Every structure is written in C-alpha cells, then in structure tokens.
Amino acid sequence: MPVTTREIHLVARPEGEPKPSDFALVERRLPDPRDGELLVRNLAISVDPYMRGKMTGIRTYTDPYDLHAPMEGAAVGVVETSGDASFPENAVVVHNAGWREHAIVPAAGVRPVNVTDATPATAYLGVLGMPGLTAYVGLLHKAGLREGDTVFVSGAAGAVGGIVGQLARLWGAERVVGSAGTAEKVRYVTRELGFDAAFDYHDGPVADQLAKAAPDGVDVYFDNVGGEHLEAAIGAAKDFARFALCGAISGYNATGPRSGPRNLGLIVTKRLTLRGFIVSDDPELAGEFHRDVAPAVAEGRITFRETVVDGLERAPEAFISMLRGGNIGKMLVRTS
Amino acid sequence: MPVTTREIHLVARPEGEPKPSDFALVERRLPDPRDGELLVRNLAISVDPYMRGKMTGIRTYTDPYDLHAPMEGAAVGVVETSGDASFPENAVVVHNAGWREHAIVPAAGVRPVNVTDATPATAYLGVLGMPGLTAYVGLLHKAGLREGDTVFVSGAAGAVGGIVGQLARLWGAERVVGSAGTAEKVRYVTRELGFDAAFDYHDGPVADQLAKAAPDGVDVYFDNVGGEHLEAAIGAAKDFARFALCGAISGYNATGPRSGPRNLGLIVTKRLTLRGFIVSDDPELAGEFHRDVAPAVAEGRITFRETVVDGLERAPEAFISMLRGGNIGKMLVRTS
C-alpha cells in the first residue's frame, strides 16, 4: 500500500555555515516496493560532518549531493513491506537512504542488525556503525596504535573521538588525552569514557594545554579537527609519531582557504607520518571491527552517548548544531 | 709528524641567512694519530642543507654544532698517517670530520671507497654518499615508488633531487617532473638527467606550472623545498599519493614561523600519506643502495654534476651559495 512520507532536500549549496533555508521538507508518495526492494520506515537518521563536504557541489572522494533531491546518509529503520525473502517484515536494518521518514531501498544495499538492550538500533549509526568503524580503522590500521603509546584525539566527545579514546585504552595505550569544546564534554570524556586527561580548547592555546595534558609528548594523534589542533599535535609529537587524519571540522564551514600549520618542518625532523583516510576505502575491515568491538559494547567496556533531536523536520537544525559542536556523542534525528 | 692545518669554526649562530662573519678560519696544529686513529688529508668537503638546522643551537634529531668548534660534515680524503693496519697510507676514505684540511679520525668512523674514472672520490659525497642514499631511501622506501607512477621532485637540480629523478626513471616511473630555480637548471634536468618535464618556480605559481607538467596528477612527491611547493603537490596529488618529505630548504633561513599549505584538508579527501624521514635512521639500507646504485653510476645510467668551490676558506661562501640555490648538482669545497 503506497505511503505518504516526508524527506529533506538540499535546495541551495551553503556558503559558510549551512542555513535552514538551504534545506526543504518535501512531502512525497512512495509506491509499493518491487521485487528485491524493501520499504523501510526509518527510526533514526544520522547527521555526520562528512555531509558538509558533499553539500559543496565539488567531487572529492564521493559525489556531491544533488540539489532538489534527498540528502543521503546512514539510517536505521524497520522493514514495513518486503520484496526480498531474506528480510522479513519488522526486521531492523541499516541503509544509506537517510534524511527521510520512509525509503524504498534495494535489499542489496541493506544490512540487518541485532538489536539488544546494550545495542539499540541507533547504536548502528554510531559506535557500531560508520563512526565506530572510522575510529577503529584510523586508530589501529592507519595510525598503527602500539602498546604503551600516548594518544591524543581531538573532538574527543564526538561520535568518532569518544570511540577512539576508549579503543586506545582497551588496546594498550599508556595515556589517552582528548580535547573538546565545553567543560561538560571534558567531564564526559574523563569521567565516563576513561580518558586520562582532557581540555576545553577554548580555555587557551591548544599547544599549551596539550603540553600539560601530555607532558612526555604524543605517539599517535587522531585528528578530527585540523587547524590549530593539528599544529599543536605536530609540536607535541614524539619522534616517529603517527597521525591518522580523519577530518578537519574546524574548517568545514570556512569560505576561503585557511593557513596551515606553521611547523610542518617538524614532520621531517621528527620523522612523522601523516595519513589521511576515508573509512569506506577499507570495507574488508568491517568484519574484524564487529568481531572486536560489538562484544566490548555489549559488555559495557565501550560506552557511548547520543544527542537526539526529534522529528525529521529538525534534521537541518541537528546538522547545523553538530557542526557547531552541539552534540555529545552521536548526533541523531529520531524520525519515528 | 705533526701538521699545521686549517679548519672552519662556527662562531655565531646565524639569524636568517648565514653571513661570512658567522664563521672563522682557524689555524691549528695536529699531533700524530694514536693507535686506531688516522690522519686524513681532506680532498673535498661537503656542504649540505641539513647543516643550517645544526647551526641554530636547537636540538632536533641531531645535536647542534658547538660554537668555536669545527663545523662537521662529510668529507673525502687520503690517509696520510695510519694508526690502523686495515687503512694503508694513501687509502681514500670518507668520514664526517669535514670543514677542515686535515683531520684525525678514529678508524672506526671511516669508510674506504673505491675510486675509478666513473666514480671519483667526490662522488662519495654525492651520488654515492649521503645525498644519493637519501634519494634512494626516500623514493623507494618512504614514498614506495611503484611502476607507472608519476613522480614530482622539487629541487630537481640539487644533489638529492637529481638522483631522485633518475632513480624514478630507472625504477619504472611513467613520468618524472621536477622544479628548479633557474632556466639553466631546468635544461640540465630535462636534457642531462632525463626528466620528462621541469619548470623554473620563479616563472609563475608552482601549482599552475605543476598542473601543466603533470596534467594527470602526481602519485609520488619528493619534497626538498616545502612551502609553496608542498601546497602545489598536495593540490596536484592523485588519490592515495605518497609524499616523502626530505627537507624544506625554502624555510631554512626563515626567522619566524611560516604559514603552512592552505589545502591540508585534501590530505583526508585524497587519502594522502606524508612521511618525514632522515636518512641516518636506516643505515641498514646502505648495503642495498650501493649494490643497486653503484653499478648504475659506473655504467653511466645515473649521471651527476658537481659545483666545486676551491679552498677551505671559501667553505662558508659555498654553503651560503648552496642555500641560495647557487649549485647544480652537489656543492663541494675542494680542500687539497
């Protein structure tokens, strides 16, 4: 039976910080799914920093969003009508047709997930989804975490950063240090996530605060922020330190080029390695990630928080807020 | 029999570009070598960019030069008096007691070299010495050159850059592109060294010239220069490009911090790897380097030039000139 549903379209390419008027809420009627398709009622959709890059209209590692079409991104939902025998009705699935209340998706683009008390459906958008995998791949495979390392992670209270810090502890780091943007976030990462030290980057130069938090220097830096944070991490790096560069949210809304770190000469003298990475390049690591991380989440050795905004119509607001640092843990929009 | 000799001392730490008055020519009497020592008469000494960093008084990967002591660095010379049976008189050796006409050195710190028509003594300060090893280690082991790569090297007419380009060709690069600082150097690297394209970085923005020289992008960048060159290479990089960062001569005389590349966000979206390295970290690679490269030099498949300044007293002038780009190929000072 056809359903009437709503979706968020991108209608203008943002200049600087996105505005609500860059988005439109569009009502739409969906037909029944065909053979091999599923009609999914989304429970929650993800808003993620990488989406800002796809709004620019410039192709990078992925195609930009089209204008006047739904934004896309991770979502978790319930199968309402199934055109594929391997997905029964009421199965909970993750897929990439976010920013809408219902979606018709090919069964091949859908992954069933195991919902329990410890791992609710929304966990598959965060700790057990792309952000968790990003933390895992970046920390263990790109930065090559070793036992005894001192690890620094920026954006430590975010969906990725919070997992990085906890994985670092579980995988043998000697000291885990984070930065975040509010006092509440600093308390969260030290008290709930077990970071050894953290600081609010508004409280003074990052370099000075990092020198206090990691006085013996940094072996691994996981960069979510860029800019001043990257410069400070280069300054604090020990010889042969390894950096996994995941993103640079401090610059995502910038309207022009920004000067880079002034201390890049240290990359040579300290023999640093800086590796940029995109999680989707390593799909073969998803298996070991779930095998390693899902039990740790189920047993409470890795914890997570969510910042939930209710109602699809508020997805742009949630996205804009997330870019401003308005979230602790994963920023989500509950859509049903 | 004791000899009277001359050496160059560092007497002031340069601010900005070194001046002749930062150095002093000092006469000195050397005793006879003791057991296990050699008295070497230097034939030529090397002036190298890394020496600028050791003049600052700041410890990096190596100790700074002491004031009122001889500058040190690679030299090639003849054993005049031997206190070690394995080094006969008149043996030609390489050692690290440069910037002087004679030196007493422990035999353990000396390496005998094989002088032929194709490999004169001075070759062991350049193509078969530290600069050649730097090119080899950086290109093959740090950047991980692969067949079919497009390689960009800055400072292409220098002691290191000229070897990088020739190694790249011999090891299967598809296209080799270089930058240099004069039209004569550009002709040298394209006509004598076999680069496919080169440009004078004074002729326009590096990014624009690189885009013309490597229109399909760059897989490997070997950085000797830093600054605008590094930014241009990041801009021209293909996805998954690898950068070996060897030095940043454009900033060595800078008196304050300089802004870094404005496009570091591309490290993430293009998944670039930037590796700083110092050749002395990998002494175990010297064996394969000599095995691979010495025959290529002997057979003329790798060529080199030298810019020679005569007389120890002119070593400061040669050093200052080298930092300004006054050399083609290896800058040397002939001392006897």
Which positions ≥6 away from B73 have C-beta within 8 Å? B45, B46, B47, B48, B51, B96, B98, B99
Last residue of a domain, one of B247, B264, B280: B280
Which of chain A's residues have a Cβ under 8 Å away from the Cβ of B222?
none
How many Å apart are CA A61 and CA A325, to the nearest integer?
24
Q: Using only C-alpha atoms, what is the Rg of chain B?
A: 20
- Cite the DSSP H helix spans in A94-241: 130-136, 161-170, 183-187, 206-213, 228-236
How many Å apart are CA B232 and CA A59, to the nearest integer?
19
Closest A-chain CA to B258 = A262
pLDDT 10s digits, B221-274: 999 999 999 999 999 999 999 999 999 888 888 888 788 899 999 999 999 999
Number of domains into which chain B is organized: 2
Compute the average pLDDT of residues B117-140: 97
Residue A6's pLDDT band (boundaries 50, 70, 90)?
Answer: very high
Give the tokens for residue B209. 């010239």
Which of chain B's residues have a Cβ under 8 Å away from the Cβ of A275?
271-274
Domain presence at residue A201: yes
Judge if A63 and A90 occupy the same domain. Answer: yes
Judge if B273 and B140 occupy the same domain. Answer: yes
Are residues A60 and B269, on separate chains, in Cβ contact within 8 Å? Answer: yes
Q: What percentage of chain A exceeds 70 in pLDDT?
A: 100
Work out how many CB contacts closer than 8 A connect A with B.
Answer: 104
Contact B289, B137 (CB under 8 A): yes
Judge if A262 and A143 occupy the same domain. Answer: yes
Contact A275, A300 (CB under 8 A): no
Q: Residues 233-252, chain A: which have Cβ within 8 Å of B?
A: 239, 245-248, 251
Judge if A80 and A155 occupy the same domain. Answer: no
Lowest average pLDDT, out of B10-14, B42-46, B254-258, goes to: B254-258
Main-chain phi, psi angles of B216, to 5 degrees? -95, 5
Judge if B140 and B273 occupy the same domain. Answer: yes
CA nearest neighbour of A119 among A153, A155, A85, A94: A94
Compute the average pLDDT of residues A162-166: 98
Domain presence at residue A247: yes
Compute the average pLDDT of residues A1-26: 95
Q: What percentage of chain B exceeds 70 in pLDDT?
A: 100
Judge if A84 and A150 occupy the same domain. Answer: no
Domain presence at residue B156: yes
CA distance A109 to chain B (A): 24
pLDDT at A58: 86
Are residues B267 and A274, on separate chains, in Cβ contact within 8 Å? Answer: yes
Does the pLDDT at position A57 exceed 90? no
Q: Which residue has the tokens 């008149």?
A: B90
CA distance A259 to chain B (A): 5
Are residues B270 and A226, on separate chains, in Cβ contact within 8 Å? Answer: no
Compute the average pLDDT of residues A200-226: 97
Domain presence at residue B287: no
Are residues B260 and A263, on separate chains, in Cβ contact within 8 Å? Answer: yes
pLDDT at A50: 95
Which positions ≥6 away from B77 have C-beta within 8 Å? B40, B41, B42, B43, B92, B93, B95, B102, B103, B336
Of B260, B270, B277, which is closest to A271 when you measure between CB atoms? Answer: B277
Domain presence at residue A115: yes
Strand order in the sheet with A69-70: A23-30, A3-10, A69-70
Are residues B276 and A268, on separate chains, in Cβ contact within 8 Å? Answer: yes
Of A60, A248, A270, which is closest to B276 when you measure between CB atoms? Answer: A270
3-class secondary-structure state, position B149:
coil
pLDDT at A1: 72
- Domain of residue B315 covers 3-126+305-334
Judge if A209 and A328 occupy the same domain. Answer: no
Which of chain A's residues have a Cβ under 8 Å away from the Cβ of B249?
none
CA nearest neighbour of A136 among A118, A175, A162, A174: A162
Q: What is the CATH number of the domain that holds A311?
A: 3.90.180.10
Of B247, B261, B271, which is closest to A268 when you measure between CB atoms? Answer: B247
Judge if A86 and A147 occupy the same domain. Answer: no
Domain presence at residue A264: yes
pLDDT 10s digits, B171-185: 999 999 999 999 999
Compute the average pLDDT of residues A169-196: 98
Closest A-chain CA to B50 = A269
Domain presence at residue B290: no
Last residue of a domain, one of A244, A264, A280: A280
Contact A191, A237 (CB under 8 A): no
Which of chain A's residues have a Cβ under 8 Å away from the Cβ of B269?
53, 60-61, 276, 278
Judge if B163 and B223 occupy the same domain. Answer: yes
Are residues A61 and B271, on separate chains, in Cβ contact within 8 Å? Answer: yes
Judge if A213 and A102 occupy the same domain. Answer: no
Judge if B98 and B141 occupy the same domain. Answer: no
Closest B-chain CA to A282 = B271
Q: What is the CATH number of the domain that holds A219?
A: 3.40.50.720
Which of chain B's residues have a Cβ under 8 Å away from the Cβ of A265?
226, 248, 251
3-class secondary-structure state, position B21:
helix
pLDDT at B250: 87
pLDDT at A270: 97
CA distance A142 to chain B (A): 10
Compute the average pLDDT of residues A204-226: 97
Judge if A68 and A203 occupy the same domain. Answer: no
Contact A151, A115 (CB under 8 A): no
Residue B292's pLDDT band (boundaries 50, 70, 90)?
Answer: very high
Which of chain A's residues have a Cβ under 8 Å away from the Cβ of B53?
269
Domain presence at residue B222: yes
CA distance A207 to chain B (A): 15
Main-chain phi, psi angles of A31, to 5 degrees? -75, 180
ipTM for the predicted complex: 0.95
Query: In the predicted model, what is the mean pLDDT of chain B?
Result: 96
How many Å apart are CA B182 and CA A274, to the nearest integer?
32
Give the tokens for residue A107. 């069964």
How many Å apart are CA B336 and CA B333, to the nearest integer?
9
From the CB of residue A36, how many other CB atoms can be counted at a distance below 10 Å?
A: 10
pLDDT at B258: 82
CA nearest neighbour of A277 among A148, A133, A97: A133
Of B260, B263, B278, which is closest to A264 when you measure between CB atoms? Answer: B260
DSSP letter, residue A114: -
What's the full length of chain B, in residues? Answer: 336
Compute the average pLDDT of residues A130-158: 98
